Amino acid sequence: MPIGNPDHPDSTQSADFFSLRLFIAGASPVSARAVVNIRAICEEFIAGRYELDIIDAHQQPLLVQQEDVTAIPMLIKKSPVPIKKLIGDCSDRAKVLKGLGISY
């Protein structure tokens, strides 16, 4: 379920377009928190230039293996490079921004 600006072209090449993937585990409280937190951050800092895939790990175990997911929730920044993995419910806003490489 891609979230973000639907008008924006799929420009993964673009240096400032964020392609994010969030692995959650069902409707656990920590997963729900993570979804809320990351959405808020994205809307606040990179509104309109991101896509966020939210994946339920239970539904896609193969993808979990491919992406080498261990801890959940895990946010994977596919682009811009470098690929970065953020684990946790994204409640530490400073760390999330640092991890995503967003200056504020």
Partner 1 sequence: MAKSKNQLERRSTGTIPKTLTGISGLDEITLGGLPSGRPTLVCGEAGSGKTLFSIEFIVKGAMDYGEPGVFMAFEEKAEELKANVASLGFDLEQLEKDKKIRLDYVHIDRSEIEETGEYDLEGLFIRLGYAIDSIGAKRVALDTIENLFAGLNNTAVLRAEIRRLFQFLKSKGVTAVITGERGGNGLTRQGLEEYVSDCVILLDHRIINQISTRRLRVVKYRGSVHGTNEYPFLIDDEGISVLPVTSLELNHEVSTKSLPSGIAALDKMLGNSGFYKGSSILVSGTAGTGKTSIAATFANAACLRGEKCLFFAFEESPKQIIRNMRSIGLDLQKHLKEGTLEFYASRPTLYGLEMHLVAIHKAIRKSKPSVVILDPITNLITIGSVSDVKTMLVRLIDFLQAEQITVMFTALTLNNIVNEQTDEGVSSLVDAWLLIRDIESNGERNRGMYIMKSRGMKHSNQIREFVITDKGLDLVDVYLTEDGVLTGSAREARMLMAQTGEVIHAQAVSRKDRELERKRKILESKIESLRSEYESAEEELNKVYVEEALKKQIMGETINKIADLRRGDESGKEKNVNKKNK
- The residues that touch partner 1, with contacts defined as CB under 8 A, are 23, 25, 28, 30, 33-34, 37, 57-58, 61-62, 64-65, 68-75, 82-92, 95-96, 98-99
Pick the closer one to partner 1 by CB: 8 or 95: 95
CB of 79 to partner 1, least distance (A): 15
Pick the closer one to partner 1 by CB: 51 or 100: 100
Q: Cα(38)–Cα(2) distance, rounded to whole angstroms?
A: 13
Pick the closer one to partner 1 by CB: 51 or 89: 89
How far does Cα 51 stand from its chain's mean position?
8
Q: Pull the structure tokens for residue 102.
A: 């967003």
Q: Are 38 and 32 within 8 A, CB to CB?
A: no
What residue has token string 């946790």? Answer: 88
